Structure formats: structure tokens, C-alpha cells
Structure 1
Amino acid sequence: MDRRARTYRGALALLLGGILVTGCGGSGTSNDSATADRGVAGSGGPAGGKRAPSAAAGPQEDGAGQAEDGAARGSVAPDYLSTFALDVDTASYGYARRTLGDGQLPAAGTVRPEEFVNSFRQGYERPDGNGFSVNVDGARTDAADWSLVRVGLATKTAPESGERPPAALTFVVDISGSMSEPGRLDLAKTSLGILADELRDDDSVSLVTFSDEAETRLPMTRLQGNRTKIRDAITAMEPADSTNVAAGVERGYDEAVEGHRKGANNRVVLLSDALANTGETDADAILERVGDARKEYGITLFGVGVGSDYGDELMERLTNKGDGNTTYIADETQARKVFVDQLPAHVELRARDAKAQVAFDRKTVKQFELIGYENREVADDDFRDDSVDGGEVGPGHTVTALYAVRLREGASGHVATATVRWLDPKTREAHEETGSVGTGAIDGELWDDAGARLQVTAVAAYFADALRGGDLQGAPTLGELAGRARELASSTEDSSVEKLATAIEQADRIRNGGGDEPPGGEGEGELG
């Protein structure tokens, strides 16, 4: 082992030798200080709350923290900026569909609207080179004076030739007793077997398993000439005892550091139900471990969730800190999509520490509310501070932020300008791109005049908001949303929208006491 790996491992041993905390991690956001800085009224974290709309600072007589009817909405700073780290996760939507298919409503704290929205194709214009295109549009809702404004960011797709730097992937696989349930370890083994066939000869993989302790099953190994050896290591995995996620993460990053390949895309892939019950189970302590490897070696983390019981919060926070993203798989169809269609093409990054800031025009906007992204908030003043963590985005991804916006009476003209800032993955040079929207571009009626993709976005966001007990202005009922989704599935010929309609119907049926009816609609949404 070289000196840098010994130094890194020693520091981590001290770091992870902290206090043992039972449970699966805290319930707060990973960016609590940012909430106060944004001027958010009644801020709710990912555990389920809703926050009141922010007031776009207008004439003095409007006051602060008051809705138009005079009802207090909490203390709202005169802030017309919205700043957040980009997020391409889709796990929340996948897990919600699995839960609904099992005849239950998902817990409100596991529902993140941005991950519902980002699970569907958007049809944004792509940039010619690296970086982002910025697309801003919207439409009027059924609520008076309220509109939806969609900020869409897109990266260039991966070359069809498959040209990319080699990948060095460390797979960290949960083999605890809970993984013996059908659809967990068996699905993980199938997924890795599929990937072993798809990776290139110049790619490398290592394999770590964990239960009560962690074990290296395979050090970093080139695919060329070793595919049988790799498949044998995958096949040999069998369920064991407890779930020591911290041990798995520690060993996985040790292997990723020791097998680090300069010029390659180095990534840790965690496959688990994330139900930590042994060793260090507090998310923050594990996150520190991930953060060190991210900063020093540029190793990113990709989380793949499995199981009917799933530690959503722990996996989400791990990957956020690890500059990666999460997804959820429930069957082989979804596994093939993730490990064949997505992972091989997306191991390369288009942008690091990407953040977005939307500036609303106080002359035209009375109030606004960002739908979701509560645990990705960034202080407005930190937007151009490149030491502040943002999100990592790969080729072909889209990121959508949907806002509920209340226009001032008779408003006309500029509504908002959206700016995305990111660092080049190789040079760390900062870049920005902007786009704007005016009242004329959001004047059409959502369900009559807007394009099909914007309507799908609205249905997904309204659905997520309903599942977590929200009250977005102009939101249709679940029954109405299901009908909209069925119509959109027909017009777009998009199977993922058909599955969305099924999920909404299941939620409506469960809420109305029909949870015992047979579930349906297996499958997954589209990433980007």
C-alpha cells in the first residue's frame, strides 16, 4: 500500500472511532444553515414538511411575511433569490412506486418532488459542448394569479460510440440478513452480472461485501481477461448477519483509494437496503468519511437502493455528501436500465459542484415556492463560492426545478432569470449559463396550452406534493391527476407516463380504503 493510502486510512480510523449512535441517522437536512439565509417561511426539511412561499421583495407597503389576504405566513426576509445544488436523483420516485405497488402509501419523509420530476423525459434543448443549456418556461394554473415556472437544465449526451475515459468502479454490496428477501441480494447479483458483461476491457472493478464486518472479495481488477473471475466473485455472495453500512463504506473507499486510477472515472457503487443496525449508524459520521475521499481523490458515490424496507434518508445523505446520486431498483427490468443504459455511459461527469440560482423580478412576482429541493438548499451568498458543495451531473442528464409563482396583479414583463454555475470536472474552472422568462411565455393555460412534457412535469410534482400532505395552489385531486396522466401517456406514447398514471391510481385507491386491491404497473421512470 502506498503512503497516501496509509495516511488516508489512518485518518479515517480516527474519524470513525467516534460515538456509537443507534438508529438510521438524523432527520434534519444536510444544509440547515442555508435555510435561514434564504428567507424561507416555515421551512420544512425532508422529513415532511412544507414550507410557505417566499415573498419576492416588492413595494414597502406589501410588508414582509404576509399573504395577500393578510394572513401571516411566518417571518419572510425580503428575498427574491432561490439557490440550490443540482440533483439528478430518482430513488424517491422509484421507492414510492414500489411502496404503492405493495398496497401502502410512502412515508411523507421519503417523498422528494424533485426526484419525481427528474424521473421523466423533458425534451430540453441540449448544449453543443460541455456544460448546460438553460430552458425556462411555464403556464398558468387553475388557481388565480398562480403559475408554474419550469427551470430546465440539460447536459450534452454521451457519444454513441461509447468514447469515454476508463472507469474504476468499487462495488460495495450489502449481504446482511435483510438482503435475503427476494428482490434484494439476488437482484444485486443479477445487476452486477449484467454490468460485468457491459463494461469495456479497459474498465476495472473491485468488490467489497459487508454484513457485521466488511470484506474485500476482489481487489481492483481489469475486465480484460478477468470476466470469469469477476462473475465468480459476484456469484459467491450469500446473505450473512447484521448491516454495518459504515464498515462497508470504509472498506469500499479504502479499496477505491488503493485502486485509484489516474485519468479514469473513479466511483464507489453502494448496493444496499441501507438499514444500518450495527457499528456506526449515524449518517453524519459516515458522511465525513465519504467527504474526505471526494475532496482528495475525486471519488464519487452512486447509491442503488433495493428492498421493500429501505433506508432512504441514509442513502440520500450519503450520496449527496459523496458527490453522487441515487436510484432505486425493484426488478430486473429496472436493474438492466440502471446498469446497462445508465451507469456505463454516465460514469463520466459533465459538471462538478453545480448550483442554480433563480432571481425573481420583484416588479412582477408577488410570491414563489420551489417545489422540493429542501435538502439541497444553498445560501444565496454561496452561489459563487466554489468551495461550497454542489451537485454532480453526468452526460445526458436533465435537472428540473418547478416553482409555484404568484404574479402581481396586471404584471407584464420579465419574471425570472435562472443561472447555473458549475466547475469543469478536469480543470475545476468555473462556468455559468443563464436563461430568462417573461410573462408572455407563461401566459398559456397549463392543461390546454402547455406542451405535453411540461404537463407531465406538473402531474409528477402535484402527485409528490399530495403524497407528502402538501397544499399547492391549483393542485388537482389524485383522481384528476390520474386521468391527466392517462391522457398524456396516450399522446406521448411514453410507457413511463403510463406507469405514473398507475401509481397515482394506486395512491388514490389506498387513500379511499381500497389498498387490498391487486397492485399493478411494475417498471420505472426515465432518468433525464
Structure 2
Amino acid sequence: MSKRLTRILTTLFVTLALLGGVVTLYGDNIRKLFGASSSSLSGNDEAYAEVPEHLRRKSMKSFGNNDAYGDSDTGQRASVPVAQAPAPSGAPQAINPRTDVREDAFSTFAVDVDTASYTQFRRSVTEHQLPHPSNVRVEEWVNYFRYAIPAPPPGQGPFHVAMEAAPSPFADRQHLLKVSLQGRHVAKAERKPTHLVFLVDTSGSMQGPDRLALVQKSVKLAVEGLNPNDTVAITTYAGGVSTVLEPTPAKERKRINAAIDSLSAGGGTAMGDGLELAYQQAVRMAGSQRVSRVIVLTDGDTNLGRNQTVETMLGSIRRYVKEGVTLSTIGFGMGNYRDELMERLANQGNGNCYYIDSEREAQRVFRDQLGGTLEVIAQDVKIQVEFDRTAVRAYRLLGYENRAIADADFRKDDVDAGEVGAGHTVTALYELDLTGEGDTVATVRVRAKKPGDSEAAEQRFVLNRAQVKGSLDRASDDLRFAAAVASTADLLRGTLATDERNFSRIHSLAADATHGQEDRVEFLTLLGKLRQILAPRLASSSR
């Protein structure tokens, strides 16, 4: 189907949806309607780009809406405050609709372990601003936090999936379902040999303690976590590109640190040329028994370089992925940061997208979670949730909009999907309308390849109705806290009504589920700051 025809049909569909509910999207969402795979969804969705945002939102049900299957959208969009981050250059993000199980019982998506969206929210709110709604990705908020998920039993596949359901705090006739995937752990001594190429943006905009100085601390933390015979190279880009450090064993710490300390900022931003140089360094060391990864560290303020466009750069990344080189993008600083581009590059490069707003976050990403970034345990990981038509009336997946996969592509092993590193977890939340009947609520299937393999294996997990909690109080702290995080993200996207009642529920959910965990306690603090920013809106809603 041509892009032009796709745009025409999309616009026609949404227009009909507004005509009193003549056409209602119960089955596939628009992505599924056109059979889009994750490879075509890793960036801006051109089919959505020409549909006005207010039309798109009116064709979708709101979070916590009690009018199941109704025609009206009763959710309120949050007004855009003065302290709003500038709109990104990409198209506004679509939001998953509620789906009638009679029309489509399957929900299929690629895993996502990125966390950049949440970290940017943290920095924005700390500076008394709101992130732009298009930069709020629910899955990256939920997956920022750790949950208690059993490890996969030996010999039973790379993953364990834990499921839990309980009544929703936002709608009397809804339940929340949490689906959590835990990847197997790999000890540091068991990791494959690793070659890292750090591509450092040294352009003039990188001056400052939250940019190049924080980059230097981050790279040193990563090097400390490597095995002695792992290797490191450092390349830079500004107005031009250069190799600061040829491949060097990690045990030569003094030499590596000297190269890191020599970095200084100044000049232009030829990112595309820098990527090409970094990949040339990485591909020399690539192989089936070695991890070879490019790690881009940038404030995102970039032109692409000579003869470079986003599409040519993505095409180059795809070629190097086939050579066995992966890519991670790490963001620093605010202002001109191109969040959508950084996420798109990481998705295309079979890697991760993070954002570093502090030295503490650098320690989290480059020290605590380094093993998961380096050692990929499964590639092209897809999740498909099948809802029992007897037990479930309708569902909505919270987030993963740009990771959607056509249901028919779940068992097509040539369709690109996400990667999972050692010890990584992936969590997704659903809103459910249950019937109160049937024995099985949902069956979750995980399909993935071993690194380097072309064929995938599949695991299967089941949630029975008897396992659904009778009240939210009986649910785990993890479910309640994840619900608070996801609903805050939905509030900022305009999906959940911004009123005092909903905000109080969110705060209560989070406050009762922190148990002193540092990241969760910090989230409570951010909620307080968010409440101050939203005070005019909350005050008007209570009148």
C-alpha cells in the first residue's frame, strides 16, 4: 500500500469516526489496519502526520472512561501551561484505542527497555516545566522502575513472565493487568568479550557540567565495569570527526582516562559523519563471539554532516546491524535535544536510548545496568497477549504505540523487534473490561531469537481468572506503583483527565507502594512538584 493511499484512508477513517460513531475502531488500531511492522514504526508515523491531533484523539477512548463502547470522548485534555517544553519536530504521538475483543483478541508489540522519556520528565519538572506530550512514552516511564519478577527457571527459556490483575482505581468497571517479563542474568565473568566505541559529541553546545563533563564521568564509569580484556575506542565529532583512542584493552585504564580527559567542546555538529567513523571502528572487531557496540553521547543539537539525511543515516545503521554492530544513544543537556531522533536511531540500531540528567543517573546506566546493555540475551523479542473472548470484553495497552507490530507478523521471524539484555525487565500495563465469566483471562506468548540466530523460539504463559485480585488493596505494591506511574504519564499526554480527584488517587497509589525504595520516593517528590506546576488546572477542576 502506498504512503499516499495510507494517508488518505487514515484521514477518511478518522473523519468517519467523528460522525456520531458510525465507524468505531474495535479491532485493529490504525497501525494494525495497515499491517505496519516495528521496522516502519521506529520513527515518525507518516500516516498520522497529516491527521490533526484533535481529530485523532477524538476517535480514541480515554483512560478511565466508564462509558465502555460509548461514542463520546469524556476524557479531558490537559491545557498546555506556559511552562511547556517546546514541541518536537516529529508528528504528535498517537494513543492506543480501546479494542473490542470480539473484533480483535490479540495485542502484539516489540519489547522496549528504554528509559529516556522518564528521565527527561524528571529534569523538566525539576526545572518547573512540563515535557511536551509527544515526548511522554508510557512504557519508558513504567520500565524505569524495578519490579519483583521471578527469574526464569534453568533450561526453560530466556524469560519468565509474571502476570497480575486487580480492579482499577480510576474506573469502577475496569481492571488493570500487569504483564512483566524477566530476562535471565549473566555473570560478569560469563559475558562475551566486548568492544565499545564511544562516539562523543564535542561540538560547542556540549560545553557545561551537565554535558561534556558528565559525558566524561559516564565513560569512565562504563570502562570501570568492563572485563580486563574488553576493548575501548573513542571517536568524536564536531565540525569534523576524529579518532581520539584506537581500540585499547580496558585494563589500560590510565591511557583510556587520559584520552577521556583530553576531550574539549567547540565547533559544529557533523553527527552523521561521526557515526560513520565510529561504525568503521566497531565493525573491525565485530563477530559472533564478540559484542561490538557504538555508544553515542550527545546533547542532540546536530546537523547530519556531508551528504547525510536521516534516512541515509538509518540505512547505514541497518547495514551495520547486519554486520553485528549495535547502537545505543545517550542524551545529555536540554534545549535543542532531539529526543525523537535519538530514540529512532537506537531502535534502528538494535540498542537502547537513555537520557542522563545527573551523575546518579550516569551510575545507574553505566555501572548498575551496564551488563544488560552489553550482553544481549535475545533479539527480535515480540510479545503477543491473547485475551479470552469469554472473560474479556475490551482492552487497551498503555504505551508501546511506536512499538506496535501487526498480529500476523508475530511469527514472521524476519520482522524486526526489540532486544533484551541480561537481567533486563519489560513491563506492560493494560486496562481490561472483564465479563466475570470464563476460566482464562489472557495467554501471553513471547517469541525471540538467540543472538545471531535466524529462527525464533516461543514461550507461553497463562493468567487464570481465579488469579485476578478481588480488590486493589490485595494487589502487589508493584502493580499499584506501576499504575501510578503509567497514569501520571497518561495524564501528561492528555489521556487522563487532569483533575484533583485523579491526581489524589495517583499520589495515594504511589505513596502506599514506595517502601523506602529510592527511585520510588523520588517519584513521590516529582509528583509534588508536578502538582505545583498543574495547580491552576487542578484548582479550576475542583470548582
Do they fold alike, i.e. is TM over 0.5?
yes
- The partner residue of 1:115 within 127, 140, 152 is 140
- The partner residue of 2:517 within 469, 494, 498 is 494
Report the 3-state secondary structure (helix = DSSP H, G, I; strand = E; otherwise coil) of the residue aligned with 2:333: coil
Task: Tell me the distance in 1 between the aligned counterparts of 2:297 and 2:358.
Answer: 14
Alignment partner of 1:444 is 2:470: yes
- The partner residue of 2:198 within 146, 157, 171 is 171
Aligned to 2:221: 194
Task: Tell me the distance in 2 between the aligned counterparts of 1:358 and 1:323.
Answer: 23
Alignment partner of 1:422 is 2:430: no
How far apart are residue 218 of structure 1 and its match?
Answer: 1.6
Task: Tell me the distance in 2 between the aligned counterparts of 1:154 and 1:444.
Answer: 26
| Alignment check: 8 A CA contact 2:158 2:378 kept | yes
Task: Tell me the distance in 2 between the aligned counterparts of 1:80 and 1:445.
Answer: 25
Aligned to 2:486: 461
| Alignment check: 8 A CA contact 1:53 1:367 kept | no
Report the 3-state secondary structure (helix = DSSP H, G, I; strand = E; otherwise coil) of the residue aligned with 1:37: coil
Aligned to 2:182: 154
How far apart are residue 305 of structure 1 and its match?
Answer: 1.2
Task: Tell me the distance in 2 between the aligned counterparts of 1:317 and 1:412.
Answer: 41
Q: Partner letter of residue 250 of structure 1?
A: E
Indicate how the Cα distance of structure 1 residues 81 and 400 shifts in structure 2: closer, same or farther if over 3 A, else same. Answer: same
Task: Tell me the distance in 1 between the aligned counterparts of 2:372 and 2:431.
Answer: 34
- The partner residue of 2:281 within 255, 263, 285 is 255
Alignment partner of 1:343 is 2:341: no
| Alignment check: 8 A CA contact 1:479 1:508 kept | no
Cα displacement string for residues 248-300 of structure 1 (whole angstroms, at most 9, x for unaligned residues): 211111111123355111111111122223536753332211111112x2211
Aligned to 1:68: 69
| Alignment check: 8 A CA contact 2:372 2:424 kept | no
Task: Tell me the distance in 2 between the aligned counterparts of 1:480 and 1:79.
Answer: 31
Q: Any stretches of 5+ residues in structure 1 without a counterpart? A: 1-30, 55-65, 515-528
- Moved segments of 4+, more than 6 Å: 72-77, 472-475
Task: Tell me the distance in 1 between the aligned counterparts of 2:72 and 2:350.
Answer: 41
Task: Tell me the distance in 1 between the aligned counterparts of 2:123 and 2:297.
Answer: 17
* Deviates further, 464-473 or 176-185: 464-473
| Alignment check: 8 A CA contact 1:173 1:272 kept | yes
Task: Tell me the distance in 2 between the aligned counterparts of 1:473 and 1:434.
Answer: 38
Task: Tell me the distance in 2 between the aligned counterparts of 1:134 and 1:473.
Answer: 33
Q: Partner letter of residue 172 of structure 2?
A: A
Q: TM-score, normalised by structure 1?
A: 0.81
Q: Partner letter of residue 174 of structure 2?
A: W
* Deviates further, 301-310 or 192-201: 192-201
| Alignment check: 8 A CA contact 2:192 2:375 kept | yes
| Alignment check: 8 A CA contact 1:243 1:278 kept | yes
Indicate how the Cα distance of structure 1 residues 475 and 267 shifts in structure 2: closer, same or farther if over 3 A, else same. Answer: farther
Aligned to 2:526: 503
Alignment partner of 1:218 is 2:245: yes
Cα displacement string for residues 472-513 of structure 1 (whole angstroms, at most 9, x for unaligned residues): 899962243223322322xx2211110111112211111115
Q: Any stretches of 5+ residues in structure 2 without a counterpart? A: 1-28, 38-46, 74-96, 538-543
Cα displacement string for residues 321-368 of structure 1 (whole angstroms, at most 9, x for unaligned residues): 111111111111111221112124541111001001111122222211
Indicate how the Cα distance of structure 1 residues 487 and 200 shifts in structure 2: closer, same or farther if over 3 A, else same. Answer: same
Task: Tell me the distance in 1 between the aligned counterparts of 2:208 and 2:404.
Answer: 36
Aligned to 2:23: none
Task: Tell me the distance in 2 between the aligned counterparts of 1:150 and 1:80.
Answer: 17
- The partner residue of 1:512 within 535, 538, 541 is 535
Report the 3-state secondary structure (helix = DSSP H, G, I; strand = E; otherwise coil) of the residue aligned with 2:512: helix
How far apart are residue 390 of structure 1 and its match?
Answer: 0.8
Task: Tell me the distance in 1 between the aligned counterparts of 2:222 and 2:107.
Answer: 39
How far apart are residue 53 of structure 1 and its match?
Answer: 5.7
Task: Tell me the distance in 1 between the aligned counterparts of 2:290 and 2:373.
Answer: 13
| Alignment check: 8 A CA contact 1:243 1:276 kept | yes
Alignment partner of 1:294 is 2:321: yes
Task: Tell me the distance in 2 between the aligned counterparts of 1:354 and 1:411.
Answer: 32
Task: Tell me the distance in 2 between the aligned counterparts of 1:425 and 1:74.
Answer: 35
Alignment partner of 1:318 is 2:345: yes
Identity across matched positions, percent: 36
Cα displacement string for residues 132-154 of structure 1 (whole angstroms, at most 9, x for unaligned residues): 11212111113122111111111
Aligned to 1:520: none
| Alignment check: 8 A CA contact 2:99 2:396 kept | no
Aligned to 2:173: 145
Task: Tell me the distance in 1 between the aligned counterparts of 2:412 and 2:526.
Answer: 40
How far apart are residue 308 of structure 1 and its match?
Answer: 2.1
Alignment partner of 1:366 is 2:396: no
How far apart are residue 223 of structure 1 and its match?
Answer: 2.3
| Number of matched pairs | 462
Aligned to 1:484: 509
Report the 3-state secondary structure (helix = DSSP H, G, I; strand = E; otherwise coil) of the residue aligned with 1:308: coil
Aligned to 1:238: 264
Indicate how the Cα distance of structure 1 residues 94 and 75 shifts in structure 2: closer, same or farther if over 3 A, else same. Answer: closer
How far apart are residue 429 of structure 1 and its match?
Answer: 4.1
| Alignment check: 8 A CA contact 2:99 2:395 kept | no
Q: Partner letter of residue 355 of structure 1?
A: K
| Alignment check: 8 A CA contact 1:155 1:397 kept | yes
Q: TM-score, normalised by structure 2?
A: 0.79
Q: Partner letter of residue 511 of structure 2?
A: R
Cα displacement string for residues 175-195 of structure 1 (whole angstroms, at most 9, x for unaligned residues): 111111320111001111222
Alignment partner of 1:403 is 2:426: no
Aligned to 1:517: none
Indicate how the Cα distance of structure 1 residues 150 and 472 shifts in structure 2: closer, same or farther if over 3 A, else same. Answer: farther
- The partner residue of 2:35 within 34, 37, 40 is 37
Cα displacement string for residues 58-110 of structure 1 (whole angstroms, at most 9, x for unaligned residues): xxxxxxxx953455989989212111111111111111101111110011111
| Alignment check: 8 A CA contact 1:356 1:421 kept | yes
| Alignment check: 8 A CA contact 1:479 1:505 kept | no
Indicate how the Cα distance of structure 1 residues 442 and 476 shifts in structure 2: closer, same or farther if over 3 A, else same. Answer: farther
* Deviates further, 467-476 or 106-115: 467-476
Q: Partner letter of residue 150 of structure 1?
A: K
| Alignment check: 8 A CA contact 2:413 2:454 kept | no
Task: Tell me the distance in 2 between the aligned counterparts of 1:156 and 1:323.
Answer: 19
Aligned to 1:96: 121
Indicate how the Cα distance of structure 1 residues 116 and 379 shifts in structure 2: closer, same or farther if over 3 A, else same. Answer: same
| Alignment check: 8 A CA contact 1:35 1:377 kept | no
Indicate how the Cα distance of structure 1 residues 52 and 361 shifts in structure 2: closer, same or farther if over 3 A, else same. Answer: farther
